[in-house]
Amino acid sequence: MSLEIKVPPVGESITEVTLASWKKKDGDQVEMDEVIAELESDKATFELTAEKAGTLKIAAAEGDTLAIGAVVATIEEGGAAESAPAADSAPATTADGNKPATADSPENPANAYAPAPQAGGGESLEIKVPPVGESITEVTLSRWIKKDGEAVEMDEAIAELESDKATFELTAEKAGTLKTLANEGDTLAIGAVVCKIEGAAAGAAPVQVTPSVADKVNESPQAAPSKGTTYASGTPSPAAAKILAEKGVDPASVNGSGVDGRITKGDALGAQVESQKPKIESQKPAASTPAAPQVTGTRTDRREKMSSLRKTVAKRLVAVKNETAMLTTFNEVDMSPIMELRGKYKDKFKEKHGVGLGFMSFFTKAVTEALKEWPAVNARIEGEEIVYSNFADVSIAVSAPKGLVVPVIRNADSLSLAEIEKAIVVLAGKARENKLTIDEMTGGTFTITNGGVFGSMMSTPIINAPQSAILGMHNIVERPVAVNGQVVIRPMMYLALSYDHRIIDGRESVSFLVRVKQLLEDPARLLLGV
């Protein structure tokens, strides 16, 4: 009697799921409550378990989208029960009166070189995904630091997990041998089992397994099928078949160079050229029309699964565009006063404070002063209320290896230029090493982004929700400008302020940006507070 395994209800708003992967294969024997597949919704990934023991019959393929209640597989009874007595039905003795060599007996040649079991084994310990934040329900296993079967020490980093906000390491909770249960790229719910640590690492040395007699027999030339007798001989790969079909080349006329004689894409391309030679030669007398140029080189696509960070950034950017009345106002600033001040004192500044004097500290300080005069630019909307902050936590956009992150400089309005530069150095270093914590990337009230380091001349930056404004810096270009009725060459930078028009009026946005321009073009005001 067979039992149907269906997609269970996984939430009120979820009507369908995707079959991410099969953990057991079609025809495998499964035990009750054993994990057989992994299902994925738009909110989480969860496991599908067998509701009884038996033989698995798969009814859906990996990647299929299934409605709630759809049949995923069936389990046939009796598969495991019928196979069990067969092992006990072997004769007690052979024809010469000796006991036959069983699969696990020392007389069996296949076990002659098997490694002895390791002493000092212990119970296995499950390593689960730890809680990493109130709003985080799932993480992605970005990579394994230790491999399956390796010995690990207690508190040693074994894997790297990635949430939509930060990357952190998973450590071993005891010493032993690592048994991985999840693959790189898998999305795991909080509390899901990632791996197991079995036994104790003390005294355990890597065991080198010698090939068994059975393996040697299987590797002998007599056991291996000869080329031309396998199903792959003369069979083109999907890419090769497409090329041959488009050019009208018979696969039987192509010699395959792949495994067991399979026709590869390279073979198909070569056959295409060879098949065209006689046609080209026959058309030489009537060469009235030029032949179309042949495409040379390889044309390939590469697909990569989006990281959790990239998916979250994409969702938030689209949400900001859809949910805010975003506008951008522009201005330009003459950078020569700051450049002169920086060139004059940067060596002494570094000697005294141990950090370089960059442009970002001037912009951060100018922004915090302007926010005091125009508090709406530092506010945010929560429901039907406007929240005004009497402090300035400035977010600095940083390009990290895994994507754009925005660490926060707390209380930037009360920091000096040197303190701001030190905070930027620390946060940027953590961003490059993927060591920023969630607290270091949340809670900002205003954001500054510098596209000028990549050569951007002008842009319209997108607001970093739930904030209401963002300042965009751009590259510094020497341009002719009019000063006191004369044309002079000055290093100029375009500034862009994107803001939410629901909370910030045009007068406030323009006045804020003009104030930032005034403070940058006359840096003495930053020191005097005027």
Q: Is the bond preceding 461 in cis, omega lying within 30 degrees of 0?
A: no
Please answer whether residues 375 and 386 qualify as being in contact, where contact means their C-beta atoms are separated by less than 8 angstroms.
Answer: no
Residue 389, burial from CB neighbour count under 10 angstroms (0-12, 13-18, 19+): middle
How far, in Å, are 269, 298, 380 from residue 249 at the CA level?
10, 20, 66
Whole-number Å distance between alpha carbons of 466 and 116:
61
Cα 526 to Cα 530: distance, rounded to the nearest angstrom: 7
Q: Are 176 and 118 in contact (CB under 8 A)?
A: no
**Contact present, 11 and 43 (Cβ < 8 Å):** yes
Q: How many CA atoms lie within 13 A of 57 on its CB side?
A: 10
Answer yes or no: are the C-beta atoms of 216 and 112 closer than 8 Å.
no
Which position among 104, 301, 501, 522 bears the catalytic label? 501
Q: Which of 438, 440, 458 is nearest to 449 (CA)?
A: 458
CB 357 within 8 A of CB 416: no
Q: With CA atoms as reference, report the closest residue to 473 among 489, 446, 455.
A: 455
User: Is 505 a catalytic site residue?
Assistant: yes
Catalytic annotation, pick one of 260, 413, 505, 522: 505
**For residues 36 and 185, what is the distance between their CA atoms, to the nearest angstrom?**
19
Residues 6+ apart with CB under 8 A from 39: 7, 10, 17, 18, 19, 20, 45, 46, 47, 48, 66
Provide the token pair at 224.
């291996």
Interhelix angle 336-353/417-432, nearest 10 degrees: 80
Q: How far apart are CA 464 and CA 441, in angstroms?
A: 11
Long-range contacts of the stretch 338-347 (C-beta < 8 A, 24+): 338/362, 338/520, 338/523, 339/491, 341/523
> Is 501 a residue of the active site?
yes
Residues known to be catalytic: 501, 505
